[in-house]
Amino acid sequence: MLCKFKKMQGIGNDFVLIDSFSEPLVLTTEQIKHIANRNFGVGCDQVLLLEPPKDDESDVYYRIFNSDGSEVSQCGNGARCSAIYLYDKGLVKKQKMIAETKSGKLVLKINKDNSVTVNMGIPKFEPKDIPINYEKKMKNYSLRLNSENIEFGAVSIGNPHAIIFVDDIELTSIEKIAIKIQQDKIFPEGVNVSFVQILDRKKIKLRVFERGVGETLSCGSGACASVVVASQRGGLEENVEAELRGGVLKLSWAGEGKPIFMNGPVSTVYDGEIEL
């Protein structure tokens, strides 16, 4: 089977987008892993399958597959790429659209500068919503890793996130700590782990280790989660820039019970075909 795709990226977080509007497409786990393989396939952090909406309110049903073949509920940078893809192909003829995911609906808005703003929804802090195996919500959770206690905040932005604050993210052994947290049974569905350095009240710097992928140049939901948890600790203003290895995202959060908004650029890398 020959599969057409578009390779896109949002500040270094790269995706293979596949149109399943005109012809329904079912991909196996092995096919997804092959597409995502950087040596033998196309290579990407996630494969995005864009399907017709399941209700009259939505414009697209947006499915996200990690490079290990697992399907996940949320990807903010992928949503931004999807908006440009859908509009440019004429599949959606308006610049403000609704994308349905496994975890809910996202409102996407294409701006005049061709950046995309995403309403990522209202962050959830209750343990059952993250999910994390704790009976009650806490500001700081703790895990014993080897001889060290690791403290972190936890939140769901449609997917689970653990946020660890550090003085210098370049001096942090992100992979070693992230893997241990991800393997712990405290997170029954796994977790994305962000290491956050607060530069000032309007800017943070972070590195993100995504479940099923590893460290990525950028993670939109990870940036949202980091801003939310840092803001709850009184460390940030409402409008914040998040500096990731692939570039900068702009985020805005008015506080608990309010949705968080993310804005950033996207670009097309190339169009192609792959034999599956």
Sequential pLDDT tens for the chain (276 residues): 899 999 999 999 999 999 999 888 999 999 999 999 999 999 999 999 999 999 999 999 999 999 999 999 889 999 999 999 999 999 999 999 999 998 889 999 999 999 999 999 999 999 999 999 999 999 999 998 888 889 999 999 999 999 999 999 987 778 888 999 999 999 999 999 999 999 999 999 999 999 988 999 999 999 999 999 999 988 899 999 999 999 999 999 999 999 999 999 999 999 999 999
Domain that residue 106 falls in: 2-118+266-275
Helices (H), the chain: 29-36, 76-88, 174-183, 220-232
Structure tokens belonging to residue 74: 């949320």
Domain co-membership, 46 together with 97: yes
Q: Is-contact 81 50, C-beta < 8 A?
A: no
Domain containing 53 — which CATH number?
A: 3.10.310.10
Choosing from 3, 44, 81, 219, which is the catalytic residue? Answer: 219
Task: Tell me the β-bridge partners of 264.
Answer: 116
Domain co-membership, 30 together with 50: yes
For 197, the enclosing helix (H) or strand (E) is strand 192-200
Domain co-membership, 17 together with 51: yes
Domain co-membership, 149 together with 254: yes
The total of structural domains in the chain comes to: 2
Active site residue 3: no
Q: Cα-atom radius of gyration of the chain, to the nearest Å?
A: 18
Q: Is-contact 153 141, C-beta < 8 A?
A: yes
Domain co-membership, 156 together with 244: yes
Choosing from 44, 75, 81, 224, which is the catalytic residue? Answer: 75
Active site residue 81: no
Q: What is the pTM of this model?
A: 0.92
Q: Distance from CA of residue 92 to its chain's centroid?
A: 22
Answer whether residue 174 is part of any domain: yes
Domain co-membership, 217 together with 270: no
Q: What is the pLDDT of residues 195-205, one digit of tens each?
A: 999 999 999 99
Domain co-membership, 68 together with 97: yes
Answer whether residue 246 is part of any domain: yes
Answer whether residue 134 is part of any domain: no
The amino acid at residue 196 is: V
Answer whether residue 169 is part of any domain: yes
